[in-house]
Structure 1
Amino acid sequence: MDLNTKYLCFVVLGVFCLGIVYSVLSGGIQYNTPHEPPQISDAKRHWNIINNSAILREVIMNIHNIKYEVKEEDVCIKTLPDCIIIGVGKSGTRELIDFMSIHPNIVSKSNPYQIRGGLQSDQSEYSNVIHQMPCRYSDQINTIKADAYLQQRDKPAEIFAMNPKVKLIAIVREPASRLISDLTMSTKARKTIHNDRYISNSKDMKNRIKYLVNIPYKELPVQVYKSIYDDGLERYMKVFNKTQILVIESNDFKYTPVKVLKRVEQFLGIKSFLSDEYFVLNTQKGYYCIRKPDAYTKTMVCYSATRGHSKQMHVDKKDLESLKEYFRPHTERFFKLLGRRFDWLN
């Protein structure tokens, strides 16, 4: 081998060695060693979603029963309601009582949640009401919901006669949006009261709103009156101590359920239990569901797919503002009675 050939081999070998060094330092050579998969935030991981109200209630009861420890010699007995959710419909009353029922110290009447036959009784023991309630232990609270009680004039006196120490919870929604939700639901469930027609499109909704805001107060249909909260709150405040009434804003509960449920725990005087552990945000729908206790799968259980989240008909901004202006005097008075404001009029 001549001198030039030896020199060329030496140069090639040197370049090859330098290439290896560069590859190692730059990560170009991959070794067959175990490595961690890329980290994915919890919110982006796939969730198995079950849309079934019956299964949701079953999961809630399973959590409740597992977490409750019966005290020795304690007896489960039926009693009058200790807590009543007095309204308002289309604001989240069902979600509220169900989510509350996860708590081991809260017992709720299963579906239907209301007491049949009302609260009036000729007997001092209110046997009809007690018969419909679930049994509870001495450290538990019996709860029912009644969507229309806030507006019903005779209910404060009836409830006080039945149990003067009862706790009352009202969950309320911005009045105009609550009414629109109610009207939207009526297109599926029943004919509207105006000309016996369905609200089948935006024009029908516009005409309905125009009709409703011109009805005299004393002749208001139930759908509209449900969005007027000041009269009902005033009636309850005349009968019950303010410390017995808790008012929850619907959006606060929808977007921060645990924060609201902590307030409920304090209001009822029970231990702190409810936490983020039991809830998960359904990002497809924008509301919270129950996290199914399962170590092997990521499963959330929600209400049926159509529950409370059907698409509402388009309402013109001008019509929406006219509704808000219609409710404004009652809303302002409600805020004054309550002693705080919600972001409803902006």
Structure 2
Amino acid sequence: MLLTLPSTFIFIIMRRDKNGWGASISVAHSREERGREQMPETRIGEVTIEKSPAYFHSKMAPERIKSLNPNIKIIIVVRDPVTRAISDYTQSSSKRKRVGLMPSFETMAVGDCANWLRANCTTKTRGVNAGWGAIRIGVYHKHMKRWLDHFPSQNIHIVDGEKLISNPADEISATEKFLGLSPVAKPENFGVDPIKKFPCLKNDDGKLHCLGKTKGRHHPDVEPSVMRALKEFYGPENKKFYQMVNHWFDW
């Protein structure tokens, strides 16, 4: 099982067993055999997930993964690419605090970002620095095509990242069905972090089990004109993706 996320929301399939809620995650970043060695032992009735967000936009990943297992099932979580870009920037800027602050999101998205990026920021696409990774990754149809070139659509499940936050039980139930698992997820299994407003798992005692402090960061306020430019940039790109996966999102 491969899980790839072009969003910063970390989605983990959680299954309830006699020990309560649990997750089995192993991330393999190297050659095939080493990757297999890093995966945990999978017992009967279990599904092991390998989670690597960068796989989605990798040019080589689909072909290599197919050679490893042509029957693998793939889960891809997508969200509004504008929100995804802001989230990407928020994460990157938080990591760079020790070496100097990044320019504003507005500068990186539509301004002169040449001093910060290898991409040519003087040549814009519909007014946007499309070469910036935070923007480029959100052009989902270009990445999705590579996966559909190597895997049948029935092996790929698309999760709506926005609904995963607002209604996690429904999205996880659909994923359980895709995996052929007995239904477990129910609305009462989830709660909301009172500060971050992110969904959390609810234990039997009612206590919340939430994601780490790096998830659900506060996003910067972005100038309305820049938001409009990004919406206009992604509009036609989103439509191509919707048609490709035969699903219309509310972006």
**Is this a same-fold pair by TM over 0.5?**
yes
Residues 178/160 of structure 1: CA separation in 2 closer, same or farther (3 Å cut): same
Structure 2 match to 1:138: 44
AA matched with 2:187: D
Residue deviations 1:46-84, cap 9 Å, x none? Answer: xxxxxxxxxxxxxxxxxxxxxxxxxxxxxxxxxxxxx11
Structure 1 match to 2:203: 292
Residues 162/253 of structure 1: CA separation in 2 closer, same or farther (3 Å cut): same
| 2:108 aligned with 1:208 | yes
| Deviation (angstroms), 1:284 | 3.8
| 2:33 aligned with 1:115 | no
Structure 2 match to 1:37: none
> Structure 2 CA distance, aligned partners of 1:153 and 1:282?
36
AA matched with 1:330: E
Structure 2 match to 1:85: 3
Q: 1:268 aligns with which of 179, 190, 211?
A: 179
Aligned ranges for residues 185-334 of structure 1 at < 5 Å? 185-190=91-96, 198-199=101-102, 204-211=104-111, 215=123, 220-294=131-205, 298-304=206-212, 306-334=213-241
| Deviation (angstroms), 1:152 | 0.5
Q: Secondary structure at the match of 2:53?
A: coil
> Structure 2 CA distance, aligned partners of 1:288 and 1:85?
19
Residue deviations 1:155-175, cap 9 Å, x none? Answer: 111111101110001101111
CA contact (8 A) 2:3 2:76 kept: yes
> Structure 1 CA distance, aligned partners of 2:45 and 2:134?
38
TM-score (normalizing by structure 1): 0.62
CA contact (8 A) 1:114 1:146 kept: yes
Segments of 4+ moved more than 6 angstroms: none
The structure that has the greater radius of gyration is 1
> Structure 2 CA distance, aligned partners of 1:84 and 1:161?
14
Aligned ranges for residues 94-105 of structure 1 at < 5 Å? 94=10, 96-97=11-12, 100-104=13-17
| Deviation (angstroms), 1:224 | 2.2
Q: Secondary structure at the match of 1:312?
A: coil
Residues 89/115 of structure 1: CA separation in 2 closer, same or farther (3 Å cut): farther
| Deviation (angstroms), 1:141 | 1.5
AA matched with 1:85: L
AA matched with 1:257: P
AA matched with 1:108: S
Residues 242/157 of structure 1: CA separation in 2 closer, same or farther (3 Å cut): same
Structure 2 match to 1:150: 56
Q: Secondary structure at the match of 1:148?
A: helix
| Deviation (angstroms), 1:216 | 5.6
Q: How many residues align?
A: 236
Q: Secondary structure at the match of 2:174?
A: helix
| Deviation (angstroms), 1:148 | 1.1
CA contact (8 A) 1:107 1:141 kept: no
TM-score (normalizing by structure 2): 0.84
> Structure 2 CA distance, aligned partners of 1:316 and 1:301?
34
More helix by share: 1
Residues 238/252 of structure 1: CA separation in 2 closer, same or farther (3 Å cut): same
Residues 300/106 of structure 1: CA separation in 2 closer, same or farther (3 Å cut): closer
> Structure 1 CA distance, aligned partners of 2:151 and 2:91?
33
Q: Which runs of 5+ in 2 are unaligned?
A: 114-120
Structure 1 match to 2:117: none
AA matched with 1:139: G
| Deviation (angstroms), 1:331 | 1.2
Residues 167/173 of structure 1: CA separation in 2 closer, same or farther (3 Å cut): same
**Higher mean Cα deviation, 226-235 or 207-216?**
207-216
Over the matched positions of the two proteins, sequence identity in percent amounts to 21
Structure 1 match to 2:118: none
Q: Secondary structure at the match of 2:55?
A: coil
> Structure 2 CA distance, aligned partners of 1:311 and 1:289?
17
| Deviation (angstroms), 1:103 | 4.3
Residue deviations 1:221-258, cap 9 Å, x none? Answer: 33222212101111111111110001111111001111
AA matched with 1:333: K
Q: Secondary structure at the match of 1:136?
A: coil
| Deviation (angstroms), 1:107 | 6.0
